[in-house]
Structure 1
Amino acid sequence: MKKSTDTLRYLSTKTAWMSFVAGQTQSQIARELEMSQSKVHRLINHALEQGYVTIRIEGGSEELLDLENRLKQSFGLTRCTVASAGMSGRDDHEALLQSVGEAAGHYLSHLLEKKAITQIGVGMGETMSAAVAAMHAAQRSDLKIVSITGSLLRKLSANPLDVVMQMQRKTGGEAYFLPVPYLASSVEERESFQSYQSVQELMELARKSDIFVVGIGSIDAESNLARTQEISAQELNDLRAAGVVGDIAGSFYDIHGRIVETELGRKTVGMRGQELAGRRVLGMAAGLRKTQAVLGVLRSGLIDEIVLDEHLARAVLSEAPVSFGGTS
Structure 2
Amino acid sequence: FLKREIERGEDTLIGVGHGRTLAACVEYLPRISAEKTRFVSLLGGLTRKFSANPHDVIHRLAERTGAEAYVMPVPMFANTVEDRTVLLGQKGISEVFDLGKAADLLIAGIGTAEREASLVATGMIEKGEMEEIRRNGGVGELLGHFFDDAGKAVETTLSNRALALAREDISNRRIVAVAGGKVKVRAIKSVLEGRYLKGLVTDERTARKLVEQTPVG
Same fold (TM over 0.5): yes
Equivalence map 1:29-68=2 (5 Å): none
**Cα separation, 1, equivalents of 2:216 and 2:125:** 33
Q: CA deviation at 1:249?
A: 0.6
Give how far 1:114 is off.
Answer: 1.2
Which among 133, 145, 169 is matched to residue 39 of structure 2? 145
Q: 2: distance between equivalents of 1:313 and 1:274?
A: 28
* Residue 315, structure 1, aligned to residue 209, structure 2: yes
Give 5+ residue unaligned stretches, structure 2: none
2:78 pairs, out of 165, 181, 184, with 184
Structure 1 segment 198-209 matched on structure 2, within 5 A: 198-209=92-103
Percent identity among equivalent residues?
31
Q: Return the alpha-carbon distance in structure 1 between the equivalents of residues 169 and 175 of structure 2.
A: 11
Residue aligning to 1:158: 54
Cα offsets for 1:105-162 (capped at 9, x unmatched): xx111111111121110001111101111212111122111001112125535333xx
Give the number of the structure with larger relative contact order, counting CA–CA contacts within 8 Å between residues 6 or more apart: 2
**Greater helix share, structure number:** 1
Query: What is the distance in 2 between the residues matched to 1:169 and 1:322?
Result: 44
After superposing the two structures, state which structure 1 stretch, 244-253 or 219-228, moved more. Answer: 219-228
The 8 Å contact of residues 194 and 270 in structure 1, kept in 2 or not, is answered as: no
Q: 1:322 to 1:195 in 2, by over 3 A?
A: farther
Alpha-carbon distance change, 133 to 273 in structure 1, aligned in 2, over 3 angstroms? farther
Whole-Å separation in 2 of the counterparts to 1:322 and 1:207 = 35
Q: 1:139 to 1:256 in 2, by over 3 A?
A: same
How many aligned positions are there?
A: 215
Aligned AA (1:215): G
Determine the structure 2 residue equivalent to 1:230: 124
- Paired residue for 1:117? 11
1:196 matched to 2:196? The reply is: no
Unaligned runs of at least 5 residues, structure 1: 1-106, 324-328
My pick for the range that moved more, 221-230 or 172-181, is 221-230
Offset at 1:296?
Answer: 0.7
In 2, are the aligned partners of 1:276 and 1:303 still within 8 Å (CA)? no
- Counterparts in 2 of 1:322 and 1:267: CA distance versus 1, 3 Å: farther
